[in-house]
Amino acid sequence: MASDSEALQGLYDKHCVQGFKYAYGTAGFRYNADVLDTVMFTTGVLAGLRSIYLGGKTVGVMITASHNPPQDNGVKIVDPRGEMLEKSWESYATELANSASQNFASFQNKLKELLEILKLDLMTPGCVAVARDSRDSGPRLLAAFKTGTEVLANLQVTDHGVLTTPQLHFLTCKTNDLGQGAVIAETLYFKEFLSAWDELTMLCNIQSLPYKIRIDAANGVGAPKVEEMLGARSFFDNTFTVVNGDWKNPPALNHLCGADFVKTNQRLPQGISGDAKQGPHINCSFDGDADRVVFYYVNSVGEFKLLDGDKIATLFAKFFQELLQTAGLRDELQLGTVQTAYANGSSTHYLEKMLGVPVTCTPTGVKHLHHEAVKFDIGIYFEANGHGTIVFSEKVTELVTQKFSDASESKDRHNALQLLLVFSKLINQTVGDAISDMLGVMAVLSILKWTPEQWDNEYTDLPNKLIKVLVPDRTVFKTVNAERQLVSPVGLQQSIDDLVDKFDNARSFVRASGTEDAVRVYAEAATRQKVEELVTMVGQLVE
């Protein structure tokens, strides 16, 4: 405890160094691990304050840099329901970190100011749950974080050790649901999703997966977790293989593998070959903290075919629409999808025109998508990069339970109603979760009896390309309309539009990255060659 100045300084001096300027970005603070000690310390303080502010509810903290290279790390705060930290607190987090990065006196003043604005007392009890991914800077940064929590006198800190990001979101939510006294451990996560899987396979009479699955775990924390989880069921015996599972070798993390590598380079990761002798199978890649997943296969003529976040969203949309129809709930429950500007134009067309499912577009970043998805009864959101989930409103459970008690309903209808409930348990609704999404996709494919090709054939992606352009100051690139239009630099959007008009079926947008010092340029067009031309030309306009 550090109510007096000297004790507070003692804690500050243990980890804080001066001079770096921090900003809470799309997914928290994320930088080279060498500069993170100070912000880890202040995040310990801030997470504690957030818990006290919320009446002692448990607030989660995840130490990870997701798909970034091994030398990076980061930290993000998770609110009690498992969702991302509320926006107004992002600025408190940034201000507190930057005050500590100036000197002790500024930190002390900023802390005092926050306590006054928020009307908080450092003596009030609170709870924080923390976990980290497999990076080698994790233990050092965790220690700085824990010292920060000591600034609060009565803060209970639960250290969950090494977890995937979605496990931490899930456990944070469960801790608050189950209340004081409940034993919250990782086993709860495995149990929850495995029981949903058991229920589903029993209900649909699925004895085994239709084909084998190879999981590229990006040499990250997803590897031991998915192995432990699937290993616990004989159902999965001989049906899955983990490749790039070397999570105890931090320099290998995300290197030539993982969801981001596969999506960005549109090619197979290291360790997975397109060899036809493997027998029928599907592949998927997680990212470094297992909150993203993309699928892929190699077709009969040897081409690499990606089944990304858009394909996952459309698969679920089609499936749930049919399920609602069979359950007799199509008019009563609203199904909708949420995408970003990166969604392939063909996927949006398929959802809106072929399926008749509404699509909302939001800026990049899970918090934006999640926020819109909860407005639907069944809200499916996926970024093209594979990050996403499905959220179910309370009305789903209520209506299903109500209909279920009606004995006059047919057997098919009963089954569909039950399936809706089981899916709401199989999906990690708190945040995108590679393991839970993977099981969700495998469940749908097994029920529909679809091969990867059949899934892929629902629509054809427009050729697309994403490039990164380095500019002197990316903050001048300001967008509106869910990042699809630039309002600054003035005139640039008009020039892009004039270019796009010269191409068939084309689209292009430019936005400043929220995680890197660069501007991203995305383009789609009717052919590979045209998309190359367009993206290069728009890139030149931006430079």
Active site residues: 66
Nearer to ligand 16G, 23 or 120 (CB): 23
Residue 442: what residue type?
M
Q: 100: alpha, beta or left, given left = phi > 0 and alpha = psi -120 to 50?
A: alpha
Find which of ligand 16G, Zn ion, none residue 289 binds, CB within 5 to 8 Å per kind: Zn ion
Restricted to residues 169-228, the positions that interact with ligand 16G (CB under 6 A) are none
Nearer to ligand 16G, 247 or 381 (CB): 381
Of the residues 136, 188, 514, 532, which one makes contact with ligand 16G according to CB under 6 A: 514
Find which of ligand 16G, Zn ion, none residue 366 binds, CB within 5 to 8 Å per kind: ligand 16G
- Specify the stretch interacting with ligand 16G by CB under 6 A; choose among 86-94, 97-105, 380-388, 501-509: 380-388
Task: Single out the residue of 83, 64, 84, 87 nearest to residue 75, CA to CA.
Answer: 64
Binding to ligand 16G by CB under 6 A, coded x per residue (else -) over 467-506, reads ----------------------------------------
What CA–CA distances, in Å, run from 67 to 222, 256, 388? 12, 11, 15
- Specify the stretch interacting with ligand 16G by CB under 6 A; choose among 39-47, 147-155, 178-186, 383-391: 383-391
Nearer to ligand 16G, 345 or 514 (CB): 514
What CA–CA distances, in Å, run from 537 to 102, 467, 498? 43, 11, 11
Nearer to ligand 16G, 72 or 150 (CB): 72
Position 447 contacts ligand 16G (CB under 6 A):
no
Strand partners, 446: none
Count of positions (residues) in the chain: 543
Classified as helix, coil or strand, 30 is strand
Restricted to residues 56-75, the positions that interact with ligand 16G (CB under 6 A) are 66
- Total binding residues for ligand 16G by CB under 6 A? 14
Shortest Å, Cβ 292 to Zn ion: 5
Task: Single out the residue of 389, 176, 422, 397 nearest to residue 292, CA to CA.
Answer: 389
Position 287 contacts Zn ion (CB under 5 A):
yes
Q: Return the beta strands (E) in 267-410 as ranges.
A: 281-286, 293-298, 304-307, 335-339, 359-361, 378-382, 388-392
C-beta of residue 314 within 8 angstroms of C-beta of residue 457: no
Position 385 contacts ligand 16G (CB under 6 A):
yes
> What does the alpha-carbon distance between residue 50 and residue 274 come to, in Å, rounded to a whole number?
49
> What does the alpha-carbon distance between residue 473 and residue 495 come to, in Å, rounded to a whole number?
20
- Total binding residues for Zn ion by CB under 5 A? 4
Nearer to Zn ion, 383 or 524 (CB): 383
Position 73 contacts Zn ion (CB under 5 A):
no
Question: Where does 290-356 have alpha helices with state H?
Answer: 309-326, 345-349
HSE-CB at 37 with a 13 A cutoff on CA atoms is: 14
> What does the alpha-carbon distance between residue 459 and residue 102 come to, in Å, rounded to a whole number?
54
What are φ and ψ of residue 523, in 5° steps?
-145, 150
Of the residues 520, 521, 525, 537, which one makes contact with ligand 16G according to CB under 6 A: 520
- Specify the stretch interacting with ligand 16G by CB under 6 A; choose among 47-55, 170-178, 311-319, 359-367: 359-367
Position 365 contacts ligand 16G (CB under 6 A):
yes
Restricted to residues 47-66, the positions that interact with Zn ion (CB under 5 A) are 66
DSSP state of 268: P
Enumerate binding residues for ligand 16G (CB under 6 A).
26-27, 66, 364-366, 383, 385, 387, 513-516, 520
Enumerate binding residues for Zn ion (CB under 5 A).
66, 287, 289, 291
